[in-house]
Structure 1
Amino acid sequence: MFKKLFLLLLPVFVGLTAWSQQPLAKVVGVVVNDKNEPLPKVTVSLVGLAATTTTDNEGKYSIQSRLSNFSLRFKLVGYKTETVALTVAKGAELVKNIVLRPDVKELKAVKVTNKANQLNNAQEVDVMTMSNLPTVSMNFESILKTLPGVSTNNELSSQYSVRGGNFDENLIYVNDVEINRPILIRNGQQEGLSFINPDFVTRARFSAGGFNARYNDKLSSMLDVRYDKPDSNQYVLTAGLMGLSATAKKTFKNSHLLFGFRRKDNRNILGTQDVRGSYRPNFNDLQALYQYNFSKKFSINTLLNFNSGSFKLIPESRETQFGTINTPIRLKVDYEGQEVDDYHTYGGAVTGIFNPKSNIAIKWINSYFEIVERERFDIDGNYVFEGIDNDFADGQFGPVRKNRGLGSYYSYARNSLNSTFASSEIKVEQSAGKHSLTYGARFEQAKYIDKINEYNYIDSAGYILPANTNSFTFENAIFSNNQLKVNTISAYLQDSYAISSKADFQFGARINYNDLSQELLVSPRLLFIYRPKDYKLWHFTAGIYQQPPSYRSLRGVDGSLFLNQKSQRSYNVSAGYDFAFTGLGTRLKFTSEVYYKYADRMIPYTVDNVRIKYLADQTAKGRTYGADFSVSGELVKDLMSLFRVSVLSADQDIIGDSYVKKDANGQNQTIYPGYLKRPTDQRVNFSMFFQDRLFKSPTYKVHLNLLYGAKLPVGSPFVSTYTDNFSIPAYRRVDIGFSNDFLDEQAKRKPQFLSRYFTSVIAYAEVFNLLNINNTVSYLWLKDVNNISYGIPNYLTGRQVNFKLIFKLKTK
């Protein structure tokens, strides 16, 4: 048999050997610029073939071809690409020297960022990469987690922490309309689609701190998203295993329309968690924007949104292994009951835009949004602790070695919250000579109707029973009915002055008054920018940032409202240096910033998954300092890659807190803990979003997203005071995606039946959590028979494969 196979393949091997030994045509030469200076790292490639090389430090190159007639392409960022056709006899050598001319258009793009972003101390978000980013949440905010200063430890959530701040300290604007998010959501798996429709976004800028006075009063960050007029009619359909979306963009003679529908169903990814059961998530978003231009000077913009979310879980069982290699422990839980959560957001904004003169723009923005939230869960879990053998068998731990006890826990809730936000605002932008003025005023009314009926208990062999069993009560019970209305008036004035062509100075201030805390808040802010070159930028910011009490911060852990709460206040300074340079054969941008924030008044809190529990009756002082660094650029043409690292330290000192502890002699001793780590004290954050082409093909691409976040401090709920003596392990995650545009302009062959109806058809294959790492998002706290507390990790999602298709229809 093998002999016959050898005789059959022998002619093939002989033919291949003879073909491989044929003489090759060879081309050598030197590549120089218009000043006759050698150019290193010029890419030299055979057009249509796989062979490629680069020039050395002296500009020399050498390349071989099996063909006699072929073309060579010479390419270097910043220079015009040259292609030459050659004819070389096989076995011959040809000397071909090339002169590359500068590409003036490309060199002009080296500027660090545009002036508008500089004056906002913000960086531009590359919205074009959003569709390529492999993400579980399917929300636009996922791209922010690759930016300097932003940290996260939950891929299911669109929430993010910026420079030690919490989720409530971030501002989000869409076309100058401030966006609020639901309040009751406590787990990332309950989150649906955020307000921002990624298909509508044409530009976005993000500030991790030091943003100017035109933006509202919050402590941490600002995201400014724009839905602009489309260049042409567009129809896009996206369909995949986790949902679908449809977008239509239509331009008319005096108006334009954006219409989008999104649907998300991530039950497949939720099924990779430890809790087994029936997951039924259903999230939808309907959004429309219509602008009519009555004249060149006046137009009206209308934005409407309806966002609904429903999450239903019927849990069946859970099995979680934790502990150490030497002392592994397994928790098994059997469940009864179910959880049903839903929320609805609806409303919109109407904006009148008036340009009486070319140097004046006036906007009158009126918005109304209502958020209706419901939580209903009634879950009973019976659990068993088991100490298991640490001898591995087939990759699993061995049999049970010791039973640590039985127990049960029960959770019940019937919570509802209705929130309404109505506002009216005037914004004016005016330029006069070297001055750029912006000023405005805003009135907002927020109403809340909150009904809380929630309790839970843990029964570890009778340890929850009180001494008097005739008067049994639940310790973790919350029953309250709250109603609150807050009126807020704010105004701002800001002047940006061009000192010279290389330097700008900006000074502004905000004034805020609300009838709840009855404080008159004045927040001055300044910014100085110096540009020694187009590709270099120095910037310095300083300011006071004050955040008035919100309903979330007013509501204590027990559900009661602390209406005497005052505004949180932070003093911020930062300095940064941005630099654009040529490296790795392309243009790269390096950004850096160091910062320090001191809060003399802040409300302490704890974080459980994505829910923030404020210690509303207490006040703290806080310090945050750190540095952010990033490098970005098109390592491969038209594909942006991002690399960043952030380091920080965030701590707080709760004023007047103390606890009693017995010393070595058994005597009670009062301990004043002083400064402790804040729940968002994530010391190191690293992210990498890398894109490349596969198989030397312009249509096949790979998109790699890597995230790392250091451990986060967390305290046990069994301790009455806030502590930081426990931690959530480091967050590590790798997601990868592969894509192919069948109708790419550079595709050699385009399917005729697709090109007839579509301008682009892109297929994506994604692998979430490629390394299948068990990341911890929070802890379930239980006790064994010895009354010892255990924090059982609640793991996030495991490895999962996803597919999706994006169709862009042809328009006439």
Structure 2
Amino acid sequence: MRKLLILLLFPALVFAQKTATVKGKIINKYNQPIEGVAITYLKDGTTTNKNGEYQFTIPVRKTVSVTFTHVSYKTISKKFTARGSRVFNFSPTLTFKTQELEEVIVKNQKNEAQGITKIETKKVNTLVGANSGVENVLMTLPGVSNNNELSTQYNVRGGNFDENLVYVNGIEVYRPFLIRSGQQEGLSFINTHMIQNIKFSAGGFQAKYGDKLSSVLDITYRKPKEFGARIDLSLLGGGITVEDTFLNNKLSAILGVRYRDNSLFVNSKQTEVNFRPKFTDVQTFLSYKANEKLTLNFLGNFSLNDYNYKPLTRRTRFGTVANPLELIVFYQGQEEDQFKTLFGAFSAEYQVNENLKLTGTVSSFNTQEQEYFDIAAAYALGEVDGNIGSESFGEVQFAQGIGSQVNHARNDLDALISNVQLRATLKDGKNEWRAGVKYQKENIKDRIKEWEVIDSLGFSIRPPHHTGNNQPYEPFTGPIEPFQKVDARNNVDINRLSGFLQFSRKTNWNDNEIWLNLGVRTHHWTVSDNITSSKSHTTFSPRAQFAIKPDWNSDMLFRLSGGWYSQPPFYKELRDFDGKIHPEVKAQKSIHIVAGNDYSFTLWERPFKLTTELYYKDLSNVNAYSVDNVRVRYRADNVTEAYAYGLDIRLNGEFVPGNDSWVSFGYLKTEENINNRGYIARPTDQRLKFGVLFQDYVPNLPDLKAYLNIVYNTGLPGGAPAYSDVYEFQNRLNDYKRADLGLSYIFVDANKTPTSKFLQHFKEFTVGLELFNIFDIKNSNTNTWVRDAYSKRQYGIPNFMTGRVLNFKTSMSF
């Protein structure tokens, strides 16, 4: 009888023993952990440790109200209902009692359901990289790549640099047009020390975002609540950020000034140069709370890039062990470029009631760019003696090609982009409606005047389309013509009207949580180049997202998203290789399908998450292009079709207690079919990607932090010489391998009390060293094409990127 009673009661006993875990980290608006937060639930309680961390268990099948209390912060409450043994990650941000209540950020289930990656702002400021910032973190994610450490531009899942949307406080930002190389870029628009939130989607994004084919980077700048200042200094430049409140805390202001100098990197390359870059950027964000319902904002930016470049010599060895070759180049002349941009945006947010919010924005962007250069180069391509026993081992024995070339440019561009937009958000219980309309006017004045003359063994090489040239067997008496020449003047006006409507709902299906989003965008534009008649086009872009969180013991989320995405052409996409504008160019289109899974689990008693995504893109009306460093040149003909598919995997968690790191892997295949000639690799066809972002500290010296950033990419297609057939040049560059290491020592921060009177003046004070390209690997991102006068063969000489570089930096905040 006793055995029978035990058997009958055993399921109930097991069920009664089931519990769920609630854990997290409590911080304030400065991302500082809060120690001593009292946490009460049922008739029990606990407190946060010095790192702001807490953990407790609750019974399943019961709604438990949890209260978080601290003497200096406002009290918040949260209800938890566990339907099985699982882990709730709840990391709220508490607000000071003297401040207005801000939105409490719960676990990013909504972002996860939307396929959005949320990145900690602290990682952006600590991750080591040649171009530290948001883009540097993105390039450690799967599906995101860039083989140029001097550039902040990036490719996402087979797309090019122009296919990525970037927003700051809901306002789209733009890049200069004439940038050719990463070392001309200077600074990213995004000031990392002004950021509050970072969101990134690599595909399948919602209709509320704009009309691009690849990705969305959504940045929110913070609204300060008290005075603060930060200074950053390094051998690469520096910056200062100041913030404060005025008018009885109604007006908040933050100002950032940055300066950048890439000489440290350029001097590590194989081309000897006199290089005097000056990259300066000033940004400000103002927010004025007129009353409880109305808030006025202003975002402003001014940047000036002065790029003065005078190459002297270059020596590059390449080829194989059996057949080594060397290219020697001597230069004369210089390049003087200037890129000046101004940006301003006013916005008004009106909270009609607790369910309806209206936002109006007026913005304007102006870029004034000039690109002037006259550079003459004399080169010799020779065979290197590879015989170890030879007296001339390692020396050039025989010149296969001797020649010269002259490059000239006088390019000027002035672009003005202005827009006005209105958005509305309506919440109705579990439903949310968003709608918006935007009018944009673009005017681009562009003068392109550039040419290149190539001479090989005394014979001027005529352009590819030239006929009747049979040198040296028959003399040619015609005039010397440039090998390539572009001479055009364009004055283009583009008027755009776009809008979107989307519906979102979060609900439950039995015990499963469901997220649903449906939306559509439309875009109408008219192009007029003041020469031909204007052309008008219209696109529709329906999009959908679905996510489900099953009522399982395992914490898993499944999502499916996709739609018909369109990218109406911008000015660069309307201009062909010869500088001519084609108003008839249509929008590129892509069908996206993205399937993903997030699996959160505990390993070594620490939280981890595995994110997996499969994607496929079917592209039509493709505007094929070539990539030279970071310059994208389009065919402007829409005669190409393409596809891309791949797999992205990312594992992140506390590999080291208290430090979040991740490992990512990506597989990609993308090909294009130009004018029905057959499929070939696209310029962005980078098959494998492996990235590691690792943070650690010295066990006996926890204030000494280490940051490791590792990226491995398989080789990209190496491009083709000017005016050549890309189908005949399908060789690939070598694999891209890079590791950067950073060490920093914390003298003062939120968790460490100052030990001297001098340090008491700082809220934070750190010094560090950064070692870029630890193993001094020679990576290349493009080829320089040199002609062999004997075999008529063209050699792709790799343009190697930066070598090993050591940098010192310090950061302090007040």
Q: TM-score, normalised by structure 2?
A: 0.83
1:528 aligns with 2:546: yes
Match of 1:503 in 2: 514
Cα offset, 1:719, TM superposition? 5.9
Letter in 2 for 1:525: R
Q: Distance in 2 between matches of 1:36 and 1:439?
A: 45
Out of 544, 569, 573, which is 2:589 matched to? 569
1:798 aligns with 2:803: yes
Letter in 2 for 1:706: I
Cα offset, 1:36, TM superposition? 13
Q: What is the aligned residue count? A: 703
Cα offset, 1:146, TM superposition? 1.2
Query: Given that residues 112 and 537 in structure 1 are in contact (C-alpha distance below 8 angstroms), is that contact kept between their aligned partners in structure 2?
Result: no
Query: Given that residues 420 and 448 in structure 1 are in contact (C-alpha distance below 8 angstroms), is that contact kept between their aligned partners in structure 2?
Result: yes
Match of 2:259 in 1: 263
Out of 491, 501, 505, which is 1:483 matched to? 491
Out of 778, 781, 788, which is 1:784 matched to? 788
**Structure 1 residues 681-724: Cα deviation after superposition (integer angstroms, max 9, x where no partner):** 10111110100002432210100000011111133225632225
Query: Structure 1 pair 693/127, CA: closer, same or farther in 2 (3 Å)?
Result: same
Query: Given that residues 138 and 193 in structure 1 are in contact (C-alpha distance below 8 angstroms), is that contact kept between their aligned partners in structure 2?
Result: no
Query: Given that residues 303 and 342 in structure 2 are in contact (C-alpha distance below 8 angstroms), is that contact kept between their aligned partners in structure 1?
Result: yes
1:248 aligns with 2:242: yes
Out of 342, 352, 359, which is 2:355 matched to? 359
Query: Given that residues 454 and 482 in structure 2 are in contact (C-alpha distance below 8 angstroms), is that contact kept between their aligned partners in structure 1?
Result: no
Query: Given that residues 716 and 726 in structure 1 are in contact (C-alpha distance below 8 angstroms), is that contact kept between their aligned partners in structure 2?
Result: no
Letter in 1 for 2:193: D
Paired residues for 1:21-100 under 5 Å: 79=55
1:375 aligns with 2:386: no
Query: Given that residues 454 and 483 in structure 2 are in contact (C-alpha distance below 8 angstroms), is that contact kept between their aligned partners in structure 1?
Result: no
Cα offset, 1:405, TM superposition? 2.9
Match of 1:646 in 2: 666
Letter in 2 for 1:632: N
Paired residues for 1:547-566 under 5 Å: 547-566=567-586
Percent sequence identity over aligned pairs: 34
Q: Distance in 2 between matches of 1:674 and 1:785?
A: 32
Q: Distance in 1 between matches of 2:620 and 2:488?
A: 31
Match of 2:229 in 1: 235
Q: Distance in 1 between matches of 2:88 and 2:225?
A: 23
**Structure 1 residues 240-259: Cα deviation after superposition (integer angstroms, max 9, x where no partner):** 10000000121232120010
Letter in 2 for 1:351: S
Q: Distance in 2 between matches of 1:488 and 1:494?
A: 20
Structure 2 residue ranges without an equivalent (≥5): 1-15, 22-48, 58-85, 93-104, 463-468, 470-475, 528-534
Query: Structure 1 pair 687/324, CA: closer, same or farther in 2 (3 Å)?
Result: same
Query: How large is the Cα RMSD of the aligned pairs?
Result: 2.7
Cα offset, 1:389, TM superposition? 1.6
Query: Structure 1 pair 544/705, CA: closer, same or farther in 2 (3 Å)?
Result: same
Query: Structure 1 pair 356/717, CA: closer, same or farther in 2 (3 Å)?
Result: same
Match of 2:687 in 1: 683
**Structure 1 residues 729-784: Cα deviation after superposition (integer angstroms, max 9, x where no partner):** 1111000000011124555x844133221111111100000000000111111112
**Structure 1 residues 442-465: Cα deviation after superposition (integer angstroms, max 9, x where no partner):** 000111000011011221214434
Cα offset, 1:119, TM superposition? 5.2
Cα offset, 1:121, TM superposition? 2.4
Query: Structure 1 pair 783/113, CA: closer, same or farther in 2 (3 Å)?
Result: farther
Paired residues for 1:549-628 under 5 Å: 549-628=569-648
Query: Structure 1 pair 464/112, CA: closer, same or farther in 2 (3 Å)?
Result: farther
Paired residues for 1:3-18 under 5 Å: none
Query: Given that residues 549 and 568 in structure 1 are in contact (C-alpha distance below 8 angstroms), is that contact kept between their aligned partners in structure 2?
Result: yes
Query: Structure 1 pair 603/745, CA: closer, same or farther in 2 (3 Å)?
Result: closer
Match of 1:385 in 2: 381
Partner SS, residue 713 of structure 1: coil
Cα offset, 1:409, TM superposition? 1.5
Query: Given that residues 557 and 613 in structure 1 are in contact (C-alpha distance below 8 angstroms), is that contact kept between their aligned partners in structure 2?
Result: yes
Partner SS, residue 586 of structure 2: coil
Match of 1:494 in 2: 502
Match of 1:715 in 2: 719
Cα offset, 1:109, TM superposition? 5.2
Letter in 1 for 2:595: A
Structure 1 residue ranges without an equivalent (≥5): 1-33, 40-72, 82-103, 657-672
Partner SS, residue 785 of structure 1: coil
Query: Structure 1 pair 397/631, CA: closer, same or farther in 2 (3 Å)?
Result: farther
Query: Given that residues 373 and 408 in structure 2 are in contact (C-alpha distance below 8 angstroms), is that contact kept between their aligned partners in structure 1?
Result: yes
Paired residues for 1:427-466 under 5 Å: 427-465=423-461
Runs of 4+ in 1 over 6 A off after TM superposition: 34-37, 73-78
Q: Distance in 2 between matches of 1:621 and 1:365?
A: 37
Query: Given that residues 539 and 575 in structure 1 are in contact (C-alpha distance below 8 angstroms), is that contact kept between their aligned partners in structure 2?
Result: yes
Q: TM-score, normalised by structure 1?
A: 0.83
Q: Distance in 2 between matches of 1:107 and 1:727?
A: 45
Query: Structure 1 pair 300/606, CA: closer, same or farther in 2 (3 Å)?
Result: same
Match of 1:631 in 2: 651
Letter in 1 for 2:560: F
Query: Structure 1 pair 301/109, CA: closer, same or farther in 2 (3 Å)?
Result: closer
Out of 682, 689, 704, which is 1:700 matched to? 704
Q: Distance in 1 between matches of 2:140 and 2:186?
A: 21
Partner SS, residue 748 of structure 2: coil
Q: Distance in 1 between matches of 2:447 and 2:657?
A: 55
Cα offset, 1:407, TM superposition? 1.0
Letter in 1 for 2:369: E
**Structure 1 residues 87-120: Cα deviation after superposition (integer angstroms, max 9, x where no partner):** xxxxxxxxxxxxxxxxx99854599952442454
Q: Is the radius of gyration larger for structure 1 or structure 2?
A: 1
Match of 2:678 in 1: 674
Cα offset, 1:233, TM superposition? 2.3
Q: Distance in 2 between matches of 1:424 and 1:457?
A: 46
Q: Distance in 1 between matches of 2:506 and 2:199?
A: 22
1:293 aligns with 2:289: yes
